[in-house]
Structure 1
Amino acid sequence: MPAMKQLLPDWLHPSLDVLTTAALVLLVLVLAWVLRRVLRGLARRLRERYQLSEQMMAVPLRVAGAVVNVGALFAILQLLGVSGAVLWTAFTGFAAVGAIAFFAAWSVLSNLFCTLLIVIMRPFRLHDRIELLENGDKPGLKGEVVDINMVYTSLREDDGALLQVPNILFFQRITRRWPVPGAMPTAPVDNG
């Protein structure tokens, strides 16, 4: 590096460390972007090969993306001079506060468990039209499923309004479902 430094103009020497750090930060960001693209491609191939639904791959992709983003953030902070001990202390402190808040909000835990059941049992899929009935026969929330995340399922009503329904409601109320034409059935049908 000292030999290369002599080849550069004198006015660039004071800012060489800053430029090197900026280049390394840019490299980390590019690598994180490439890794997320590779993960998306891998998920697409797995979905096509094993005929998995879009929603089955959505949660693992979001988790993997979050892990890549957090890893890139830690790498960038390390490049900027933040020590690993400080990062670890901050991370464990935030994790402890997060764990306390997480267990204090038991409804959030219920929603996460219900999300797991929705992903595994697949009572509905993305782009299905569903309706949550009130007391068995009264009309309730109705729309097209446009997103399923860890806490909410987003429904788009006919007028374009977006409803965010807590996932726990799908296990407390009757759900009426109109599947997308040509979609695979969500549960085996007994014709016998």
Structure 2
Amino acid sequence: MTEMPTVRPDEFWESRYRQSDRVWSGRPNPLLVREVTGLRPGTALDLGCGEGADAVWLASRGWRVTGADISATALDRAAAHAEQAGVGDRTAWERHELGPSFPRGEYDLVNVQYLQSPVELDQRAVLRRAAGAVAEGGTLLVVLHAGWPSWQTEPPFAYTFPTLDGVLDDLALPEGSWTVGTLEAVRRSSASPDGAEGFRDDNVWRLHRTRD
């Protein structure tokens, strides 16, 4: 097992996206669909939006979405996806490293899907800022991997995965100002790059900020 790469985060992710025409499937994350369906559309912030699948799905259901990512290439693809889907007027795209900079404003939904990185990322600080960006009456949705996939026989580098209770503690949410809607470990099927069947465990937090 090796240590995490030491390359600059912006260089790492820009290189990752430039290596292929598409990195992700273009479909929204299933746990986002599960947790958000039924919420009244409003404003949404999608942190680490990548090529924009989640943001485009939200916009197609009436949300006004700001997508933020570290990679300019990913954001260009996200904007093109939104235009092709007919929701370009409901989306905005901002480049942020989510540490040195962060989107301004408050949102009815802040979506954080798999904000985990093989290069430097202060996940605790970003999640706290994500919670701070939730408007009164709004929702914070966080989905993170809970471990390596079952077919990953040798971890590629040392990494400590977050736990359900650990993230709640890290968020340090003011008592009485938030309620928990979902706090759940989910196992889903996951195939290896060469097609071997397996599974991956994820953790889900859906938190509601109450009105003062």
Higher percent of residues as strand: 2
Give the TM-score, by structure 2 length.
0.18
Q: Greater relative contact order: 1 or 2 (C-alpha under 8 angstroms, separation 6 or more)? A: 2
Structure number with higher helix proportion: 1
TM-score norm. by structure 1 comes to: 0.20
Give the greater-gyration-radius structure (CA): 1
